[in-house]
């Protein structure tokens, strides 16, 4: 079980965002969620590299301050480098150690600033607790 989790290199996020306007992209309030990278319908879908906190595919020249209320409307997976899902977050709440950097999300929020280049500001690599992830 632990060996599979040790192979994880990314976290994949599919979070249903309640209020898109709780983000600013390049200094502009994203009132309807059309400016943020990764929006697909009502979901914010991104893949973040665990070692350095880089959002994969982040558009050149974009920076964002994100404070998304998610509550119990998100799914999160640990993946390997190729994108194969290895484990799914067992809880209904946001995995704070992975998706809250610079502030406390209390399980209800994704909070981070993403700099130009896709790096999460103040990112600290989280420790993976195998008890909190279901192996796929």
Q: Left (φ > 0), alpha (ψ -120 to 50) or beta: where does 122 sit? A: left
Which H or E element spans position 6? helix 2-6
* pLDDT tens for each residue of 75-106: 999 999 999 999 999 998 999 999 999 888 88
Please state, in angstroms and rounded to a whole number, the distance separating the CA atoms of residues 13 and 112. Answer: 14
Q: What is the pLDDT of residues 12-56, one digit of tens each?
A: 999 999 999 999 999 999 999 999 999 999 999 999 999 999 999
pLDDT tier at 72 (50, 70, 90 boundaries)? confident
The pTM for the full model equals 0.95
């Amino acid at each position: 079980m632990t060996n599979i989790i040790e192979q994880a290199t990314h976290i994949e996020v599919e979070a249903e965002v309640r209020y898109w306007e709780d983000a600013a992209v390049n200094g502009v309030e994203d009132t309807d969620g059309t400016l943020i990278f990764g929006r697909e319908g009502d979901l914010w879908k991104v893949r973040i590299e665990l070692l350095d906190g880089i959002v994969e595919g982040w558009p050149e020249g974009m920076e964002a301050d994100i404070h998304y209320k998610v509550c119990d409307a998100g799914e999160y997976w640990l993946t390997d480098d190729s994108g194969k899902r290895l484990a799914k977050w067992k809880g209904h709440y946001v995995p704070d150690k992975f998706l809250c950097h610079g502030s406390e999300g209390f399980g209800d929020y994704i909070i981070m600033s993403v700099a130009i280049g896709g790096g999460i500001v103040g990112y600290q690599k989280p420790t993976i607790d195998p008890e909190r992830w279901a192996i796929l």
